[in-house]
Structure 1
C-alpha cells in the first residue's frame, strides 16, 4: 500500500548542489533538504535472489516519490499550451543494502531549475 502526503509544499533550492556527480554529493544525503516526503511498502517480491531489495524495485519507489511530488505541487496536469513534462533520465547511487519487510521513506525536492528542465532529487 502506498501512502504519500506532503510535509510542506515548496521547493527549497540548494545553491550549487547540482554536479555531474550529484549522486555522490554528500549534500544530497542530507534529508533536511527534501521538503516533500511520502512512504511506500517494501514488498516480498521486491527482493532479489540474495535477499536484497532489487535495484528495479528501488527505482519504482523513487518513481512513486517523484510522481507524488509532481502531483502535489500541481505540475502533473498538461500546461495551457498542451505541454507535459517527461522524465529524461535517472541516476541512482546505492549507498546501503535494503531488505524486506518494511516501509521506505522517500524525500523529494527540486535541486536545479534550468531554462527547459528541472532536476528533482530524492532520498530513500
Structure 2
C-alpha cells in the first residue's frame, strides 16, 4: 500500500475520543477497525448505498491493519480511502491514516466487502451507480 497522501481519492477527518485510549495510553488497535468501517460506510452512503432499505448490502469478509505509529487522544486522523480491487460482487477498500495535517502514515489497512442480496445473502453484482462511484477511487496499477 502507498504511504503517500497522493495515493488516496477520498478524505475524511476522524477525531479520536478519550475512550479510544487504552491502558497503555494510545488508541487501541481495534479502534482503527472502527475508523475504517466509519470512513468506508460514510463514503458508501454518500455514493448512494441505502444501508437501511436497499436490496444490496456489503458484508465484510476480510479486514487487516498495519500499525506504524502510536496515536493518542486528542489526536485527529485524516483517513484516505481508495479502491485497490473492484470485482463483480466484491471490492477491496484500502485506508491510510495520517496524523491531521501530516504526511506521516500511522496505520494502513483494508476491508473487503462482498455485496449480497439483503434477504438471501447470495452474492450479487455491485449496483451500477455504486460501481461507477467506486471506479473513481480505483488505484491505477
Scaled by the length of structure 1, what TM-score is found? 0.69
> Larger strand proportion, structure 1 or 2?
2
The one of 88, 92, 115 equivalent to 1:115 is 88
Distance 1:78 1:48, change over 3 A: closer
State how 1:72-83 maps to structure 2 within 5 Å. 72-77=46-51, 82-83=55-56
Distance 1:117 1:53, change over 3 A: same
Tell me which residue corresponds to 1:90. 63
1:61 aligns with 2:35: yes
Instruction: Provide the secondary structure at the position in 2 that maps to 1:65.
Output: helix
Tell me which residue corresponds to 1:11. none
Distance 1:115 1:93, change over 3 A: same
Tell me which residue corresponds to 1:18. none
For the residues of structure 1 that align with 2:10 and 2:39, how far apart are their CA atoms? 9
Length, aligned pairs only: 97
CA offsets per residue over residues 67-105 of structure 1, 9 Å max, x none?
11212222345898x222211121111111111112111
CA offsets per residue over residues 10-29 of structure 1, 9 Å max, x none?
xxxxxxxxxxxxxxxxx422
For the residues of structure 2 that align with 1:51 and 1:104, how far apart are their CA atoms? 17
Distance 1:89 1:76, change over 3 A: farther
1:103 aligns with 2:73: no
Shift of 1:44: 1.0
1:28 aligns with 2:2: yes
Greater relative contact order (CA < 8 Å, ≥ 6 in sequence): 1
Gaps spanning 5+ residues in structure 1: where? 1-26
